Structure 1
Amino acid sequence: MHLGMRWALGGLTALMLSSTAMAESITVYTAYEEDEAAAFLEEAKKALPDVDVNLLRLSTGDLAARIIAEKANPQHDVLWGFAVTSMVNPQILEGLEAYKPEGLDAIPARFRDPDGKWFAVTGYMAALCVNNERLKDKGLKMPTSWADLTDPSFKGEVVMPNPASSGTGYIQIDSLLQMMGEEKGWAFLDKLDKNVAQYIKSGSRPCNAASAGEYTVGASFGLRAVKNIEEGYPITLVVPSEGAGNELEANGLVAASKNKDAAKRFLDWTVSKEAANAYFSWKAIVTVPGGTMPERFTKAGLPEDVSQVLFPVDFKAAAEDRTRIIQTWQEKYER
């Protein structure tokens, strides 16, 4: 979906632009969901009232294709909230310029490009949604790990995202292969597959299916579980003890930008405490220090410091291996 917007959506625009006649203007490309982007930009405007942002929001795959198609003549100044596994594509990375926003050193090195071309401020993590009522009815033991889901007692009780269509599904599969090594990883997935009732073309729907009591366990992502718990569904959020696969959402400065001063000010804001608090309304992973995780997240089962449970994904390898891994997965398990 193409959203050409200045700072925010709908009725907020006129209010926010009433005094921007002399504003500097930048174009930002993002893969954040439109409601997330609108909320974040509303906060950014408070800090940067004289910067006029035109935003294009597309899904990760569509945005990557557009950036590559425009690489001879980029139409944007900033890339914001973009999956690191896509950011590291050489055709995209070569269009970025190293930039170090004020305060960047406070973000752990594992969330930054060694060459300074990108830094990740948010992300999402794999998690299991376990239906408490169905678990009890079936006489099953609460799983705490991926390994627990290979027990024969869970046969037909597990649903997972299809990694060919779901980014969440891919990070789950790829992180297991990375943590175990491919030979042992594929052998593990063979065992897990025996218990999987179906693979669903969505990262959130496995959690929704478990929440509705259709299955006992839905492999999904952390914030989907939090939201379903808040809505009253009888589920438990489980972070697999092996470590949670994760995808990071990163920012970068476009080398060809003609508006670099304003672009840099925007990127500076993205690592501010105010930005961190805005992110925490929507994201399980916030790498910027200074923000406060909402109590509703921890009450639902997310650890206060999610960095302690994240598997250290090699994002470059995840990107390079994606086609091969998905093809192998489809040959083995797709049904």
Structure 2
Amino acid sequence: MKLLTAAAMALALVTGSVNAAEQLNAYSIMPEKYASKVFSEFTKDTGIKVNFMRFSSGEALARLNAEKKNPQVDVMLGGPADTYAAGVKEGIFEQYRPKDSDAIPASLRDPQNHWTGIGIIPLCFLTNTKFLEKNNMKAPETWNDLLDPHY
């Protein structure tokens, strides 16, 4: 859990300095029940309290963009790499390399150290085979297939 916690807290630093050594403010894209555990472990390990709010990736990115000139948080936890890539383009994230990040494959880290991945979550289609059979349809194979009104 220590590597996960360290990587999670270093996932992305929002432009601006950390408030005080006693606390961090964070946005989380990760579901609250998991983020609470990560932040709790971080607090146990460091003594630093974490105040966080949970948002979808789009909401978090929009907030960070709106707050770019006056950041309200120190870190963001969770979410897909493309959210962070978009934030890097907007100049939202500072560079930071966690101490133990060499343990994380390079393909799961930003080469410029704007974000560090903490896990891989596969994205897949789930289908109701009974529905497909009843409607004489085959399972979608691409995102564009889902544009078909039958789905």
Q: Normalised by the size of structure 1, how large is the TM-score?
A: 0.34
- In structure 2, the residue matched to 1:156 is 132
What's the % identity of the aligned pairs?
Answer: 29
Q: Secondary structure at the match of 2:120?
A: strand
Relative distance call for 1:90 and 1:126 in structure 2 (3 A) is: closer
What pairs with 1:190-269 in structure 2 (closer than 5 Å)? 194-196=137-139
- In structure 1, the residue matched to 2:77 is 80
Question: By percentage of residues, which structure has more helix?
Answer: 1
Distance across 2 between alignment mates of 1:23 and 1:114: 28
For the 8 Å contact 1:32–1:57, the answer to whether it is kept is yes
Relative distance call for 1:37 and 1:130 in structure 2 (3 A) is: same
Higher Cα Rg, which structure: 1
What pairs with 1:1-335 in structure 2 (closer than 5 Å)? 24-49=22-47, 51-90=48-87, 94-126=91-123, 156-157=132-133, 194-196=137-139, 329=144, 332-335=147-150
Deviations 1:25-57 (A, max 9, x none): 2111110111111122222222112x1211121
Distance across 2 between alignment mates of 1:44 and 1:333: 46
Q: Normalised by the size of structure 2, how large is the TM-score?
A: 0.69
Matched letter for residue 156 of structure 1: L
For the 8 Å contact 2:108–2:117, the answer to whether it is kept is yes
Unmatched runs of 5 consecutive residues or more in structure 1: 1-21, 135-153, 159-193, 200-218, 220-324
Relative distance call for 1:92 and 1:333 in structure 2 (3 A) is: same
- In structure 2, the residue matched to 1:149 is none
Deviations 1:196-244 (A, max 9, x none): 3xx8xxxxxxxxxxxxxxxxxxx9xxxxxxxxxxxxxxxxxxxxxxxxx
For the 8 Å contact 2:27–2:76, the answer to whether it is kept is yes
Aligned length: 130
Matched letter for residue 122 of structure 2: M
Q: Would you identify which runs of 4 or more consecutive aligned residues in structure 1 move more than 2 Å?
A: 90-93, 126-131, 329-332
Question: By percentage of residues, which structure has more strand?
Answer: 1
1:113: Cα distance to partner?
Answer: 0.7
